[in-house]
């Protein structure tokens, strides 16, 4: 009898919650762990129905208890899946802070008669401290993971910035080289052009002299000399030469003028001074770029221009913007598989200048639209693209406080629109300084 009383006291004062229910979910017994937290008075008082005590968890409790009655096997509820099955409070041992109790609950058959379960016992273990430690470790792990992801993103941005800087340095070096080559070509082109002009003048004078002699022979009544003249003119194909030579000279002069125009455009496109901020004409930059890219465009597309007249000059870095135009125009030409069209529209408002470059190429898939400005992203075959063109263009336009947007439909082509704000040197300097 004494042992039974001791056992009863032990069960009542355990730091585990013990609750016994019958098949109708009526509470037959619960220790102090339960009664203290539920406000139930003495054990002799009538105990309520478990499902009525915990209506919000009634469905889950009923399912767990029924599985024990039917299967005669234990069932469990862990705090990771259902942290607060019973809405009990828990007090931290050191801080005294009260929080909802995290619980592990075991349901097991207690009174079994001929394989028939009559009662089910629930044992509730307070694992708040353990759960708190686990959650703190999990939060720390997630924080470290986020910091790791942030560092990886930062490394990617640094790598992209480094590659864009290298690309810019390469373009500057190419520009200096091109300017030097253009200067060297310009000298021989100049004197060859001058010589051809002189040769054309001499040719005109020589033909006039020959025509004068022909008229003299016609007036001299000497059939023998006239026959020799006709024979010589025929043998030397003078009739053909007299018509072909002026045409050859004119074609050569026209060709040299084209070479001179290409050299001029090359110098304008790659001029080192143009990397500095200055007022420049956007249309002149586009036209120079079109001439530089003519070899890549002329076999693929016809260029249609729609320029608003009397456009104001823009304070910008002309060489850098020319690089953006070149990237967009070459991309447009490469997007056209056979033969198509490229439309260039330039317009101005009170606050900005917009340049729209549209092609009738293959278009861009929607899943790629968000990635096209990322460094090294390209849809071109391996070996035909670095994936830096649009990324570098985007970076250049950011320095101009400009916006670059794209609209595209697969099979219908793409349209890239640049919006360059009209800013004077003071406004631009203030914006760049504020971002720095």
- 109 & 73 share domain: yes
> Which residue, of 222, 245, 269, is where some domain finishes?
269
Q: Per-residue pLDDT averaged across 378-402, rounded?
A: 68
- 290 & 229 share domain: no
Report yes or no on 391 lying in a domain: yes
- Is 50 exceeded by the pLDDT of residue 315? yes
- 282 & 259 share domain: no
Q: Per-residue pLDDT averaged across 49-73, rounded?
A: 90
Domain ranges, residue 30: 2-126
- 303 & 394 share domain: yes
Q: Per-residue pLDDT averaged across 110-138, rounded?
A: 88
Question: What spatial distance separates the first Cα and last Cα of the chain, rounded to whole Å?
Answer: 85
Number of domains in the chain: 3
Report yes or no on 300 lying in a domain: yes
Which segment of 38-52, 142-156, 371-385 scores lowest on mean pLDDT? Answer: 371-385
Confidence of residue 26 (pLDDT cuts 50, 70, 90): very high
Report yes or no on 175 lying in a domain: yes
In the chain, % of residues over pLDDT 90: 20
What are the beta bridge partners of residue 26?
49
Q: What contacts 419, CB < 8 A, 6 or more positions away? A: 352, 353, 354, 402, 403, 404, 405
Report yes or no on 147 lying in a domain: no
- Is 60 exceeded by the pLDDT of residue 92? no
- 295 & 345 share domain: yes
Which segment of 106-110, 142-146, 228-232 scores lowest on mean pLDDT? Answer: 228-232
Q: Per-residue pLDDT averaged across 332-345, rounded?
A: 90
Helix (H) or strand (E) holding 397: helix 389-399
Please give the model's pTM, rounded to 2 decimal places: 0.45
| DSSP 8-state secondary structure symbol assigned to residue 103 | E
- 110 & 17 share domain: yes
Q: How far apart are CA 356 and CA 338, in angstroms?
A: 22
CATH number at 346 reads 3.30.565.10
CATH number at 40 reads 3.30.450.20
Confidence of residue 220 (pLDDT cuts 50, 70, 90): confident
Q: Per-residue pLDDT averaged across 335-345, rounded?
A: 91
Report yes or no on 242 lying in a domain: yes
> Which residue, of 72, 104, 126, is where some domain finishes?
126
Angle made by CA atoms 89, 77, 131, in degrees to the nearest 5? 50
- 340 & 384 share domain: yes
Report yes or no on 133 lying in a domain: no
Confidence of residue 300 (pLDDT cuts 50, 70, 90): confident
- Is 70 exceeded by the pLDDT of residue 388? no
- 263 & 368 share domain: no
Decide which of 349 and 158 is more confident: 349
- 204-243: b or e for each residue (b if 16 or more CB lie within 10 Å)? eeeeeeeeeeeeeeeeeeeeeeeeebeeeeeeeebeeeee
- 314 & 344 share domain: yes
pLDDT number for residue 197: 82
- 215 & 340 share domain: no
- 282 & 431 share domain: yes
- 284 & 401 share domain: yes
> Which residue, of 217, 246, 269, is where some domain finishes?
269
Which segment of 168-172, 229-233, 243-247 scores lowest on mean pLDDT? Answer: 168-172
Report yes or no on 69 lying in a domain: yes
């Amino acid at each position: 009898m004494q042992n039974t009383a001791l056992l009863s006291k032990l069960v009542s004062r355990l730091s585990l919650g013990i609750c016994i229910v019958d098949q109708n979910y009526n509470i037959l017994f619960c220790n102090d762990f339960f009664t203290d937290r539920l406000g139930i008075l003495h054990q002799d008082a009538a105990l309520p129905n478990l499902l009525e005590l915990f209506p919000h968890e009634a469905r889950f409790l009923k399912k767990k208890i029924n599985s024990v009655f039917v299967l005669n096997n234990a069932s469990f509820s862990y705090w990771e899946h259902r942290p607060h099955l019973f809405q009990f409070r828990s007090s931290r041992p050191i801080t005294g802070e009260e929080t909802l109790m995290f619980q592990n609950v075991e349901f097991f058959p207690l009174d079994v008669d001929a394989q028939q379960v009559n009662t089910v016992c629930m044992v509730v273990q307070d694992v708040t401290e353990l759960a708190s430690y686990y959650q703190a470790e999990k939060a720390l792990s997630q924080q470290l993971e986020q910091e790791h992801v942030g560092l990886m993103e930062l490394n990617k941005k640094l790598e992209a910035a480094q590659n864009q800087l290298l690309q810019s340095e390469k373009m500057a070096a190419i520009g200096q080289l091109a300017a030097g080559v253009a200067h060297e070509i310009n000298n021989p082109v100049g004197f060859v052009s001058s010589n051809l002009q002189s040769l054309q003048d001499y040719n005109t004078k020589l033909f006039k002299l020959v025509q004068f002699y022909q008229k003299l022979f016609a007036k001299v009544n000497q059939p023998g000399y006239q026959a020799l003249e006709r024979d010589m003119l025929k043998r030397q194909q003078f009739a053909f030469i007299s018509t072909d030579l002026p045409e050859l000279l004119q074609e050569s002069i026209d060709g040299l003028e084209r070479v001179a125009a290409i050299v001029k455009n090359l110098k304008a496109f790659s001029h080192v001074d143009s990397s500095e901020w200055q007022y420049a004409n956007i249309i002149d930059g586009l036209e120079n770029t079109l001439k530089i890219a003519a070899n890549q465009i002329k076999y693929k597309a016809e260029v249609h221009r729609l320029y608003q007249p009397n456009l104001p000059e823009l304070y910008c870095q002309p060489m850098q913007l020319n690089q953006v135009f070149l990237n967009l125009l070459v991309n447009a030409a490469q997007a056209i598989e056979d033969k198509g069209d490229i439309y260039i529209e330039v317009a101005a408002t009170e606050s900005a200048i917009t340049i729209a470059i549209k092609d009738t190429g293959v278009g861009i898939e929607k899943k790629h639209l968000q990635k096209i400005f990322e460094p090294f992203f390209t849809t071109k075959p391996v070996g035909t693209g670095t994936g830096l063109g649009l990324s570098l263009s985007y970076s250049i336009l950011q320095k101009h406080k400009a916006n670059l947007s794209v609209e595209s439909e697969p099979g219908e082509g793409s349209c890239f629109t640049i919006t360059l704000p009209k800013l004077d040197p003071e406004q631009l300097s203030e914006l760049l300084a504020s971002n720095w």
